Chain A
Amino acid sequence: MTLTTTRPSPPLVPRRVPAPRRRNRGIGFHLVAGGLSVLWLLPILLVLTTSIRSFEDIASNGLGSVPHSFALGGFGQAWGEGGGGRAMLNSLLVTIPTVVLALLLSAAAAYALSRYAIPFRRTIILVMLAGNLLPPQILLVPVAKLTELLGIYDTLTALVVVQVGFGLGFYTFVLQGFMRSIPDEIQQAALIDGAGVAQIFWRIILPMTRPALAALGALAFTWTFNDLLWAITVLRTETVMPVTPALLGLQGQYVSNWNVIAAGSVIAAIPTVAVFLRFQKHFISGLAIGAIK
């Protein structure tokens, strides 16, 4: 490892690369990046075209051929008799309470742990984070038994509480990092005005944490919505399955009806894509905070 700084520099290289070479590099960049982007989007395009073909077309021309038909029947089947509509409702019934509860609880914990000198607070934060980093496999069997014991096995409630419990550590960790950067003066001023712990939390800290909450909320929504493992661990009946596990069922139900399966995948992707598009900036910054922190 030679340090470049210690080397006698070669005769001053002109800083600006001559124009023609730059343009070539520009074209090269767009070729490579554009090619990769097309390659990345191709599978999505393919599933979209498959979803709007008719079953007969796929059966006679093959799955890999160019479409010879335009039919939206696949969507109808996936949504109706395939159970997509019911699964979507289940998913929303699980995802929304999970995200709200998990963020509320973790924001409360993060607030107390970041703004007050709670004894062992650093240890508490790290232990909570460690819980989230455990491989879920170690929890599956006991959690399934626990929900049976509580009589909530095979209900959406079980899925909500399990996912809230498992997500808390990570959300708390991220939120406390964010809340710590809020200046103390604001809280002091509120304290002097006679605000209590809960009021300061609700009126001051929580609103100031909005960006982090939006980022985590978008992430939590996708994670919860996309979950498969917890759902198939605590649920059994087909009618209570959320979208992600229901897609697997759809695949079993419509073997080789690829237009229906493709339509189901498209339907399943719509909510997360919508959340991503709506919260794009927050979403990406959330991933980055989560990782860099």
Chain B
Amino acid sequence: MAVLAAPRRRRFSPVLLAFVLVPLVVEGFWVFWPALQGFYLSLTDWDGVSAPSFVGFGNFAEMFSDDIFGTAALDTVIWLVLFGGLSALGGLGLALLLQRERRGVGFYRAALFTPVVFSLVATSLIWQVIYQPDGVVNRLLAAIGLGSWQHAWLADPKTALYAVLVPALWRQLGYVMVLYLAGLKGIDPALYEAAKLDGATSRQQFRNVTWPQLRGVNSVVLSVIVIDSLRSFDVVWSMTKGGPYHSSELLSTYMYSTAFQSLRLGYASALAVVIFLLAFGVIVTYLVRAFREDQ
């Protein structure tokens, strides 16, 4: 029953159509349909029980006078810059350091990559052990005579966000390193040979060979880390739940607590739309790139 292909008008066997349609319907039902509802809900006021009431852009207007939203938005931007920026720079640095095959390099790569397989919740518990008032960090500080720097790292609003950032980076750097290692591997060695023949120093080689050749990977890494930054939720939620006093609140955690703890589903959906809009620009770049590479 498969080869029905009539000469002119292509007809596809029902099996083939099912192959496309079933996954499409599943994704449509669990992703696209809810997404549309999410956009609609952002224009409503809803407690999840009674019917949602339409309020137009009221939720978005409310954000301007919402201090917690301000903190969360600012923290999200800080997170984007620090988490994204440091993991990109660090990942590239590690990849450059470990790109050449030589003795021991496999072990080093594996060591740096290991945290990637842990869940963010496990990661955050590991780091909570480290951060406890009687934990290793404070012990070390005392041991090297910086006892006055000792801190309840996660309980102090001034340090909470950064204390959460460190484990997130610990886990992300190995991932970005792998992406860059793949990119570096793809560079034609002949280019380096040519540059060396011309007497280029290693810095010049980096600037004129490596960096331009990494352009493709760079845009991927950029997309990945922006998407990952905006999605970051687990690590903050399991370490501080956004606290103390919302000092480590990200838009993602604020959205979750607004929805499932304060039960303000309309406002939470509006927060989700803000996250979407932030991510949208990046996703478009990513897709355009993917599309171009497909050609």
Contact A196 B290 (CB under 8 A): no
Interface string of A227-240 (1 = CB under 8 A from B): 11100110000000
For B112, what are the chain A residues with a Cβ–Cβ distance below 8 Å? 36-37, 40
Residue B190 at the A interface, CB < 8 A? Answer: no
How many residues in A have their beta carbons less than 8 Å from beta carbons of B? 111
CB distance from A18 to the nearest CB of B (A): 16
Contact A122 B13 (CB under 8 A): no
Contact B139 A139 (CB under 8 A): no
In residues 208-267 of chain A, which contact B (Cβ within 8 Å)?
A: 222, 225-229, 232-233, 243-245, 247-248, 251, 258, 261-262, 264-265
Contact B290 A129 (CB under 8 A): yes
Complex Cα gap A134–B238 (Å): 23
Interface segment out of the listed B67-75, B81-89, B155-163, B267-275: B267-275
Closest to B181 in A: A288
Complex Cα gap A5–B294 (Å): 32
Contact B129 A128 (CB under 8 A): no
For A197, what are the chain B residues with a Cβ–Cβ distance below 8 Å? 2, 13, 15-16, 19
Complex Cα gap A78–B227 (Å): 34
Contact A4 B195 (CB under 8 A): yes
Residue B79 at the A interface, CB < 8 A? Answer: no
Complex Cα gap A116–B15 (Å): 12
How many residues in B have their beta carbons less than 8 Å from beta carbons of A? 116
Residue B23 at the A interface, CB < 8 A? Answer: yes
In residues 215-241 of chain B, which contact A (Cβ within 8 Å)?
A: 216-217, 220-221, 224, 227, 230-231, 233-234, 237-238
For A247, what are the chain B residues with a Cβ–Cβ distance below 8 Å? 119, 121-122, 125, 238
Residue A189 at the B interface, CB < 8 A? Answer: no
Contact B279 A133 (CB under 8 A): yes
Residue B1 at the A interface, CB < 8 A? Answer: yes
Contact A135 B272 (CB under 8 A): yes
For B183, what are the chain A residues with a Cβ–Cβ distance below 8 Å? 292
- The answer to whether A196 and B117 touch (CB under 8 A), given A30-B104, A141-B268, A191-B3, is no
